[in-house]
Structure 1
Amino acid sequence: MQFPESWLREFCNPPLTTQQLAETLTMAGLEVEELRPVAPPFTKIVVGEIREAVQHPDADRLRVCQVDVGQGALLNIVCGAPNARAGIKVPCALVGAELPPGEDGKPFVIRASKLRGVESQGMLCSARELKLSEDHGGLLELAASATVGQDIRQHLDLDDTLFTLKLTPNLAHCLSIYGVAREVSALTGAPLKTPTFPPVPVRHQGKLPVKISAPDLCGRFSGRIVRNVNTQAATPSWMVDRLARCGQRSVTALVDISNYVLFEFSRPTHIFDLDKIHGGLDVRWGRPGEQLKLLNGSTVTVDDKVGVIADDLQPESLAGIMGGDATAVSDDTRNVYVEAAFWWPKAVAGRSRRYNFSTEAGHRFERGVDPGLTVEHLERITQLIIDICGGEAGPIDDAQVNLPPSSPVTLRVARAAKILGMPLTQAQCADALKRLGLPVVAGEGTLTVTPPSYRFDLQIEEDLIEEVARMVGYNNLPTTPPLAPITARVRLEAQRGPFAVHRALAGLGYQETINFSFVEERWEHELAGNPNPIKLQNPIASQMSVMRSSLLGSLLQVLKFNLDRKAERVRVFEVGRVFLRDASVKSTDTTVEGFDQPMRVAALAYGGTDALQWGRKEQGVDFFDVKGDIEALLAPRRATFEPAEHPALHPGRCARVLVNGETIGFVGELHPKWRQGYNLAQAPVLFELALDAVLARDVPVFKPVAKYQAVVRDIAVIVPEKVTHTALIEAIYAAATGGLLRGATLFDVYRPKQSGGGMNEGEKSLAVRLTLNSDEATLADEQIEAQVQAIIARLISQFGARLRA
């Protein structure tokens, strides 16, 4: 909420500077988000009156003006503004005046000069040149009552400061100038100017029939008829200025009056054109299919969850939010109906967001507006209408059908002291609450408060404790270190921290990305094979309607985002949580019944294996590149890979990742169908692993360095095509080598283009390098040959292998 300091000080003027006042409000929970001067600095600009304006002899668009600035002699000033004319009062910058800084940050100094041969002894200013607004259609015309020669800063009260408050929803009673002043008075002890609302003289007895059909929508409805109103009357400049400083532009006199009372007392009101109302008014819930054209020009369709004010033919306004176009006040309006109502917060909350707009009235009603002063505020707005637009007021019709009850709330002093962490006496608490204007009844160690009608937020004991804390001042609460036993959580040696996984993947060339856990439902069906994802009851966007059960969709979205911006090589990873249905999960302090929320690590590689370079030929990333990254990530644990199927991955280029025989995830190329759907030039390679399995590691076992030289032997065996690398290596390690086999590495795969050379169709040749060693002595040829033959025998018996000639 934005407002000028000068308006606040009219109600309560404490002996504090602007900065001290802002600090006091902030420390009481009314956060001052910004302090901004009404006008930038400038000097020697005064009120001037144009006595004469004649055409420039050598320029069609210039006028030579004689300007009275209260110095006796008139100033000769050349001006090009279209509204420069005799008889108006405008800001006049004298010679030597400094105008607000321009884009270069330097002030503009006025000097005597000649314009087309005519001497100019100053400058007449527009609002834009003084940086008061963006209006540059002509000179800023001042009130006829302005004193000639008076400093313009004094005349327009430009040495004022705009306060911008960032209020929490429970501080609805501060959504007005008077509400903030009431808080300032309580905080500082400065006297509060309590407004009075004298009744406006009743000039006629006309009333509009009003029926409240929905007490759960509207608890009180007050209104009156004002006849013979001049709707074309000009809004006084003082009201226009105050509304502008609250961020509200002037519209018409009646609209401005309504907005003024809204900012002054947080009382939203509405003014109907009486002659456009058919019959009487009915305050009710909408009916499905009813349409209403609003003042903002949009047409909305209501239902039985949206409140309306209707006449005998149609809805005329959205209850508590915005009026309708059909009964809008225009220049032809002569008779008006002014209403001030109490709408139940729950009946207004969320309705404007349904139609994608918000209003100042709806913002206040959904937080709670004082139901006790509708008549008083109606008197205030009526008096302003008569003062500015004229008219004859009728009697007030006040219907009270369902007002909120005032339930007493009790504060235990001992509990307040415990929660705030500081010693408090009953007298201190009572003083804090009384300063806020709350009626207090003292008991034995307790204080009971019956909240006034404007305090919707006071419902439980903690609300009163918060009020005490605000009056004490959050900055005055003691800083007490927490007292609690601290037990260090030591990570097991067989486990590494999550950050080590981040570092390892970054070291492999991947960049971390962080994505929403809410994803598009289509991803779950297509990429995760999840027909029943966990749906959100209130998604923040239509394409973020379910909880993800896989990280792959998020990574593909990141890939598409980068490719759309011409990235050629993308390697990204994410460590995040997924959400699965699991009836076996019970509710604890870290789990939710029926839902499993494990952590996963996933990565995607697309484009070249390496960044562009001269040293090697450019080559696209493939399955084996990413398989190697997985092995490096899991090292020193050995991973094995088995052919598998996954909804997101290529059926023939997908593998299950296993560690110690347990599946921990999948790796593979993106399925051709999804590659085509995402319009990708090549298939990215992805993997997704359980984070717990990646964090696990083998405890290091120390062994002495081998004293004897290792021996290397290569063998090439012909095996059926179906024999996998994993099966071959496991068979080699399972051979009876007496512990002399220290390593086995596949280094060549050969498939003949046609049968022959000792190989049949459906066979392949696998070449393996064996490393043998002993801790006791150098291996003899006989020992080496015996171990090699044992390995070959194992391969022959298990796979029907034969040595390649």
Structure 2
Amino acid sequence: MQFPESWLREFCNPPLTTQEIADTLTMGGLEVEELRPAAPPFSKVVVGEIKDAVQHPNADRLRVCQVDVGQGSLLNIVCGAPNARVGIRVPCALVGAELPPGEDGKPFQIKLGKLRGVESQGMLCSARELQLSEDHGGLLELAADAPVGQDIREVLKLDDHIFTLKLTPNLAHALSVYGVARELSALTGAPLKAPSFPPVAPANDARLPVKVSAPDLCGRFSGRVVRNVDTKAQTPAWMVDRLARCGQRSVTALVDISNYVMFEFGRPSHIFDLDKIHGGLHVRWGSEGEALKLLNGNTVTVDGKVGVIADDQAVESLAGIMGGDATAVSDDTRNVYVEAAFWWPEAIQGRSRRYNFSTDAGHRFERGVDPAQTVEHIEHITRLILEICGGEAGPMDDQVLQLPERKPVTLRVARAAQVIGMPLTEARCREALTRLGFPVEGEGGVLRVTPPSWRFDLAIEEDLIEEVVRIIGYNELPTTPPLAPTTARVAPESRRSRFAVRRLLAGLGYQETINFSFVEERWEQELAGNAKPVRLLNPIASPMSVMRSTLLGSLLGVLRFNLDRRAERVRVFELGRVFLRDDSVQTTDTTVRGVHQPMRVAGLAYGDADGLQWGRKATPVDFYDAKGDVEALLAPRKPEFRAAAHPAMHPGRCASVWLDGREVGVVGELHPRWRQSWEFAHAPVLFELDLDAVMQREVPAFEPVPRFQPVQRDIAVIVADAVSHDAVLGAIRSAPTGGLLRDAQLFDVYKPKQASAGLALGEKSLAVRLTLASADATLTDQQIDAAVAAVVARIATALGGRLRG
């Protein structure tokens, strides 16, 4: 919100300096983001009238002007501006004047001099030379009644300041000069000049039929016809100047009037070309497939979630956002229809973003615009139109359908004192609320406030407490240190922290990376097999159009980035959130309906397994390196690995990770086709695990040191080549050894190249070391032999294996 100080002081003029007003607004919750002068400093520039202008004798593009600056005698000034002509009044810099600094930062001083042999006693100025605008096409032409010889700063009111406010969404009532003045009056106690809106007497009975069929879109619709307007009329200089200082350029008189009232009272309005409307207007929700060409030249398609104003043939306007090109006023317009409405904020919010643009009107309506004064503001607009463009006004049409219900809000004085942290009296709270223009009722420490029509942010007691403390002044609050004891929450021993997970992966040689949660849709389809990813309505870039359901694509992108910079060995990991469709999820403070958002941890290893070293021959990282890292990450819990298939993994070099009978992740080598697609010289290995499973750990339990020495026995069993190592160990552990088996480890594998004695093709020999022990006594040979026999028997029955030799 940007506006000039002079306009603000017309409504509220407290005895404060400019900086004090800025500080007061900021401390009152209306942050002044920028405060700057309306014009740069310059001196000795006055109003001059050109009395004579003749061609320069020695230059085709220069003219010699005789200029009256109120000194009795005319000044001889050489000027090259194309619009230098007799009769106009322009800024004239006298000899000794200092103009605003140029690119070198130094002020430009006007001296007596000669141009092509003709003496020049000053300088006639353009708007750009005074740094009032970027217009340098000619001299800045002033009003015909500008007093000759008067300082230009007084004539144009350049000793003004521009306020730029940074408002939060709940301060919609301050999106106008009058709204800010109302707040300033409440904060300072200075009187507020309330505007008056005398009705305009109708000069004809012209009406436009309007039907409102969506009260949940439009709660009130007001309008009137104005005939025989002159759309070519010039916008008054004072209005152009005020609009410019609000950051709005002048367009045409009718558009300027509409914008002026919006900045003045926060009321967006729209002016239709009445003769271009077919039949009447219909305020309704859009229909699927309807198209509209807007004033900005864009053509948009609407649906049932966007409000529109249509005539009998087509859609003519986006409700509360922007008008259509078909009914826009032009130089040929003679009759207009002025409209001001109350659009429900919920019906406007987010609609502009669907079409990738925003408007001042939409910015205000989606926050809430006062529904009580649509008629008064149309009267104000009508009066301005008649004064500037002429015309004849018709009668006012006003349809009130459904206005916001103003529910009283209760304020307990004791509760306000507790929240604010300082003693408060009922009288002080009542005074603060009354200064804001709120009707206050109640007594006995309980006040009731019915929010006025311009306040959409007052719904609960805390809202009123905030208003009280704003008016009292934050600088009045006492400095009180917190007294509540703070006790650190002790993390359960059975759960490691995310920091511990990061530290463990760093200890394994991985480096952490942080990536966007937005990824390419191709990654989701190819690497995750996700045909329906969560799409973004407004992605920050076209390659970032969906939410990721796996971290693997992000890590592969990091690998490609590093390889492009000649990295030879890459080991990276990421802890991040993924986004999965799940209809069972409901919206809460931490969840979004229909989207499950678990945390995952993923890692990628590429290049040599050990890096540069001398102890052994360099070998590329493989599946078992990543498997070992997963085991280290989950230790002391022992995961189970089962052969699996994954869209991103090599079909024969991929395993799912299981803990306590639940699948918690996947580990494997990148699929050959993705390796070829990403142009990797070697296949990277990857893993991805549920972070909750990684963070869980077993609490160490005390066990006494064994009193009796364990016994080890080695056996070699022959099984079919298709039998896995996991199946063999499973059979061994399930053997009825009477609790004597402590451990089993594979230490040799033999596969013959051709059939030999005792070993056929398609078979393999596995050598396993069994560790047996008892906590009660030293094992006897009979117990050991019985346990080994039970293991061999279980392998035979479960896997069809036999003891070798």
Return the TM-score normalized by structure 1: 0.79
User: How much does 1:698 deviate?
Assistant: 8.0
3-state SS, counterpart of residue 667 of structure 2: strand
CA separation of 1:356 and 1:498: change in aligned 2, threshold 3 A? closer
- The structure-2 alpha-carbon separation of the partners of 1:97 and 1:466, relative to structure 1 and needing over 3 Å to count, comes to same
Paired amino acid for 2:83: N
Moved more, 442-451 or 118-127: 118-127
Mapping for residues 451-530 of structure 1, pairs under 5 Å = 451-482=451-482, 484=484, 486-491=486-491, 496-506=496-506, 510-517=510-517, 526-529=526-529
Shift of 1:268: 1.6
Partner of 1:221: 221
Give the corresponding residue for 1:92.
Answer: 93
1:255 Cα offset (Å): 0.5
Alpha-carbon distance in 2 for matches of 1:364, 1:14: 27
**Which residue matches 1:321?**
321
- Partners of 1:640 and 1:308 in 2: CA distance: 61
- Name the structure 1 match of 2:190: 190
Give the corresponding residue for 2:438: 438
> Is the 2:93–2:110 contact (alpha carbons within 8 Å) kept by the matching residues of 1?
no
Rounded Cα–Cα distance in structure 2 between residues aligned with 1:596 and 1:297: 41
Deviation of the 1:134 alpha carbon: 2.7
CA displacement at 1:329 relative to structure 2 = 1.4
Distance 2:354 2:586 in 1: 36
Partner of 1:711: none
Partner SS for 1:603: strand
The worse-fitting range, judged by mean Cα deviation, of 430-439 and 169-178 is 169-178
1:409 to 1:722, Cα distance in 2 relative to 1, 3 A? same
Deviation at 1:629, TM superposition (A): 5.1
Matched residue count: 775
Rounded to whole Å, the distance in 2 between the matches of 1:743 and 1:59 is 107
Change (3 A) 1:586 1:318: closer
Q: Which moved more, 1:248-257 or 1:669-678?
A: 669-678
Structure 1 residue 21, shift from structure 2 partner: 1.9
Post-superposition offset of 1:690: 3.6
Contact 2:582 2:595 in 1 (8 A): yes
Moved more, 371-380 or 555-564: 555-564
Aligned to 2:391: 391
- 1:230 matched to which residue of 2? 230
Correspondence list, 1:632-671, <5 A: 643-656=643-656, 665-671=665-671
**Deviations 1:283-328 (Å, cap 9, x if unpaired)?**
3444444433322223334444443333344333233222222222
Aligned to 1:382: 382
Change (3 A) 1:768 1:192: same
CA contact (8 A) 1:100 1:129 kept: no
Deviation at 1:361, TM superposition (A): 1.8
State the partner residue of 1:15: 15
- For the 8 Å contact 1:100–1:131, the answer to whether it is kept is no
Q: Which amino acid aligns with 2:473?
A: G
- Residue equivalent to 2:206: 207
SS of residue in 1 equivalent to 2:272:
strand
Task: Work out whether residues 208 and 280 of structure 1, in 8 Å CA contact, stay in contact via their aligned partners in 2.
Answer: no
- 1:81 aligns with 81
Distance 1:565 1:76 in 2: 69
Which letter maps to 2:395? P
Q: CA deviation at 1:358?
A: 2.3
Question: How far 1:527 sits from its partner (Å)?
Answer: 3.3
1:231 to partner: Cα distance: 1.1
Aligned to 1:691: 691
Q: Distance in 2 between the 1:62 and 1:612 partners?
A: 78
The 8 Å contact of residues 717 and 765 in structure 2, kept in 1 or not, is answered as yes
Q: Secondary structure at the match of 2:601?
A: strand
Partner of 1:107: 106
1:349 maps to 349
**How big is each residue's C-alpha offset from its partner over 1:491-537, in whole Å with a ceiling of 9 and x where there is no partner?**
4567653223334444655443334556667655643456787x589
What are the within-5 Å matches in structure 2 for residues 553-572 of structure 1? 553-559=553-559, 571-572=571-572
Q: Matched residues in 1 for 2:529 and 2:120: separation?
A: 81
TM-score, length-scaled by structure 2: 0.79
What's the secondary structure of 1:275's corresponding residue?
helix
The range that moved more, 638-647 or 30-39, is 638-647
Distance 1:682 1:37, change over 3 A: farther
Per-residue deviation, 1:111: 5.3
Are the equivalent residues in 1 in contact too, given 2:753–2:761 (CA < 8 A)?
no
Provide the alpha-carbon RMSD of the alignment. 5.2
Letter in 1 for 2:367: R
Q: CA deviation at 1:412?
A: 2.7
Write the distance in 2 (CA, Å) between the matches of 1:125 and 1:6: 25
For 1:99, give the aligned amino acid. P
The structural deviation recorded for 1:100 is 2.6
1:245-265 C-alpha deviation (Å, 9 max, x unpaired): 111111001110110011101
CA shift, 1:387, in A, is 1.8
- The answer to whether the 8 A contact 1:215-1:401 is kept is no
Identical positions, percent = 71
Q: What amino acid does structure 2 have at the position aligned with 1:81?
A: A
Q: 1:406 to 1:690 in 2, by over 3 A?
A: closer
Query: Contact between 2:669 and 2:686, CA under 8 Å: does it hold in 1?
Result: yes
CA contact (8 A) 2:90 2:124 kept: no
**Deviating more after overlay: 23-32 vs 579-588:** 579-588
- Which whole-Å CA distance do the structure 2 matches of 1:319 and 1:590 have between them? 33
CA drift of 1:179 comes to: 0.8
Judge which range, 159-168 or 503-512, deviates more.
503-512
Q: Which residue of 2 aligns with 1:179?
A: 179
User: Aligned AA for 2:16?
Assistant: L
Q: Is the 1:93–1:110 Cα contact (8 Å) retained in structure 2?
A: no
Deviates more, 1:109-118 or 1:295-304: 109-118
Q: CA deviation at 1:232?
A: 0.9
* Helix, strand or coil at the partner of 1:239: helix
Structure 1 residue 718: Cα displacement: 12
Task: Name 1:358's counterpart in structure 2.
Answer: 358
Provide Cα deviations, 1:33-77, integer angstroms capped at 9, x if missing partner: 222332334444444444444444444444444444455555554
**Mapped partners of 1:219, 1:409: distance in 2:** 23
* Partner in structure 2 of residue 28 of structure 1: 28
Q: How far is the alpha carbon of 1:190 from its aligned partner? A: 0.5
Asked whether the equivalents of residues 101 and 108 of structure 2 are also in contact (C-alpha less than 8 Å), the reply is: no
Query: Are the aligned partners of 1:110 and 1:123 in contact in 2 as well (CA < 8 Å)?
Result: no
**8 A Cα contact 1:91 1:126, kept in partner:** no
Q: Structure 2: how far apart are the matches of 1:669 and 1:236?
A: 74
The secondary structure found in structure 1 opposite 2:170 is helix
Contact 2:578 2:599 in 1 (8 A): yes
Cα 1:610/1:400, change in 2 over 3 Å? same
Contact 1:96/1:111 (8 A) holds in 2: yes
Question: Which moves more between the two structures, 162-171 or 280-289?
Answer: 280-289
With 539-548 and 688-697 compared, the bigger mean Cα shift is at 539-548
**1:732–1:744: 8 Å Cα contact kept in structure 2?**
no
| Aligned counterparts of 2:571 and 2:536: Cα–Cα separation in 1 | 34
Distance (Å, rounded) in 1 between the aligned partners of 2:171 and 2:606 = 52
Unaligned runs of 5+ in 2: 704-715, 770-787, 796-800
Q: Where does residue 132 of structure 2 map in the other structure? A: 132
State the alpha-carbon separation in 2 of the partners of residues 168 and 762 from structure 1. Answer: 75
Number of the residue aligned with 2:602: 602
Preserved CA contact (<8 Å) 2:524 2:548 = yes
**After superposition, what is the alpha-carbon deviation per residue over 1:744-776, rounded to whole angstroms, capped at 9, x for unaligned?**
999x999999999x999879999999xxxxxxx
User: Which stretch has the larger CA shift, 619-628 or 7-16?
Assistant: 619-628
Give the corresponding residue for 1:299: 299
Q: Displacement of 1:181 after TM fit?
A: 0.4
SS at match of 1:169: coil
Aligned-partner SS, 1:223: strand
More displaced, 279-288 or 586-595? Answer: 586-595
Q: Secondary structure at the match of 1:170?
A: coil
Structure 1 position 584, deviation (Å): 11
**Aligned equivalents of 1:436, 1:666: Cα separation in 2:** 62
Give how far 1:543 is off.
7.8
Q: Which amino acid aligns with 1:292?
A: L
- Structure 2 distance, partners of 1:81, 1:568, is 67
